Amino acid sequence: MTQTEEATMAQTEEKVIPDFGDDTDRKLCIICSKGTLDMAYPGLVLANAALMEGIEVNMFFTFWGLDMLNKKTMAHLKATPVGNTAMHMPQALSPLPGMTAMATHMMKKEIDKLDFPPVDEFLQQIVDAGGHLWACKMSADMMDLEEDDMFEEVEDIIGATDFMNMSDGAQIIFI
Amino acid sequence: MSTQTIAGQEVDVNEEGFMTDPSQWNKEIAAQLAEQINLGALTDEHWKVIDFLRADFEEEGETATLRRVSKRSGVPTKDLYRLFPKKPAKKMAYCAGLPKPHGCI
């Protein structure tokens, strides 16, 4: 082997190519159980981030989380300072008329500033990225909701046992 | 930081293999980077995304997030995942010779 050949080989061996983890079989299930604006976003952001990392994502919406899928409510989720000390206002003021509207307005503005989409658009982005949306049967029955009442991309209304099968081997996040 | 020879040109790369000097990038390099991560030959659709990333970086000084790419380049999210499978944001930045995007969307 000549010196040049050796040098070429050494260089080829050294070449660092990013590992994009194409063969990952990581699975993530996110349970969304809240219907407030501030609690809707963590699930959406995490689902989207996981998809961008090539992770399989199933989102299961239960109890108040169904408000995120309900066509009537999904665009009108609210953030409230009531009982939320993290909003750092005197708790006695928080139930006053207009406070929830104000907190919601402010949060929506901040979300928009960060270029995060509104809930419906975010869900669409997650579906376009290959994520799956499922509604909880018991909650849907309780709230008298059918598939037609929900965001079109919801794949099905399923029971908790179906969810157990689906989440086999997955990491689960409950929000 | 080290250097690599890509498409016959010496370029600076970081420890992951991402280029660190966008000015060293050219289309031949992009083609080889794509090949290296198994994207195969770049199509016009790929180039539309890569050209957008380059132009946007020039203006903004940072790599566009996936959402920004889909909103501004006119290439829908679905297609971005088809063109740059699994990790679209990172793969397209890699081919464009730009740093990984920092935004989490």
Q: What's the average model confidence in pLDDT over A133-142?
A: 96
Residue B82, Cα to own-chain centre: how many angstroms?
Answer: 15
In the annotation, is B104 catalytic? yes
Which tens digit of pLDDT belongs to each residue from B75-84? 999 999 999 9
HEC letters along B40-101: CCCCHHHHHHHHHHHHHHHHHCCCCCHHHHHHHHCCCHHHHHHHCCCCHHHHHHHHCCCCCC
Q: Measured between beta carbons, which residues in chain B are less than 8 angstroms from residue A21?
A: 86-87
What are B12's strand-pairing partners?
B3
Domain count, chain B: 1
Give chain B's residues under pLDDT 70: none
Domain-located, residue B102: no
Q: What is the pLDDT of residue A53?
A: 93
d(Cα B95, Cα A109) in Å, to the nearest integer?
Answer: 34
CA distance A52 to chain B (A): 5
Asked if A18 lies within 8 A of B16 by C-beta distance, the reply is yes
Domain-located, residue B100: no
Burial B66-85 (b: 16+ CB within 10 A, else e): bbbbbeebebebebbbebbe
CA distance A20 to chain B (A): 7
Q: Which of A17, A21, A45 sits opposite B17 (nearest CB)?
A: A17
Domain-located, residue B37: yes
Which tens digit of pLDDT belongs to each residue from A11-47? 555 688 888 888 889 999 999 999 999 999 999 999 9
Domain-located, residue B15: yes
The interface pTM score, or ipTM, of the predicted complex is: 0.91
Q: Which of B4, B67, B77 sits opposite A15 (nearest CB)?
A: B4
Domain-located, residue B48: yes
Domain-located, residue B84: yes
Does the pLDDT at position A2 exceed 80?
no
A87-to-A32, A70, A138, A159, B88 alpha-carbon distances in Å? 22, 27, 32, 35, 36
Give the closest residue to A123 by CA, choosing from A157, A155, A162, A146.
A155
Q: What is the pLDDT of residue A144?
A: 94
Domain count, chain A: 1
Return the higher-pLDDT residue of A4 and A102: A102
Please tell me which residue in B1, B41, B104, B105 is annotated as part of the active site.
Answer: B104
d(Cα A61, Cα A32) in Å, to the nearest integer?
Answer: 5
Please say whether the beta carbons of A59 and A133 come within 8 A.
yes
Other CB atoms within 10 A of residue A19 CB: 10
State the DSSP code for A116: P
Asked if A16 lies within 8 A of B5 by C-beta distance, the reply is no
Domain-located, residue A39: yes
Q: Does B67 touch chain A (CB under 8 A)?
A: yes
A57-to-A45, A127, A129, A170 alpha-carbon distances in Å? 12, 10, 10, 9
Count of alpha carbons within 13 angstroms of residue A59, beta-carbon side: 33
Q: Does B16 touch chain A (CB under 8 A)?
A: yes
Q: Does B47 touch chain A (CB under 8 A)?
A: no
Q: Does B23 touch chain A (CB under 8 A)?
A: no
Domain-located, residue A34: yes
Q: What is the pLDDT of residue B77?
A: 95
Domain-located, residue B104: no
- Tally the residues of chain A: 175
Please say whether the beta carbons of A38 and B97 come within 8 A.
no
Domain-located, residue B105: no
Q: What's the average model confidence in pLDDT over A145-168?
A: 94
d(Cα A99, Cα A132) in Å, to the nearest integer?
Answer: 35
Q: Is A27 helix (H, G, I), strand (E, B) or coil?
A: strand
Please compute Rg for chain B using Cα positions: 13
Domain-located, residue A62: yes
Return the structure tokens found at A164: 């157990």
Q: Could you list the residue range(s) of the whole structural domain that residue B16 is in? A: 2-95
Which tens digit of pLDDT belongs to each residue from A49-76? 999 999 999 999 999 999 999 999 999 9
Q: Could you list the residue range(s) of the whole structural domain that residue A118 is in? A: 25-80+91-174
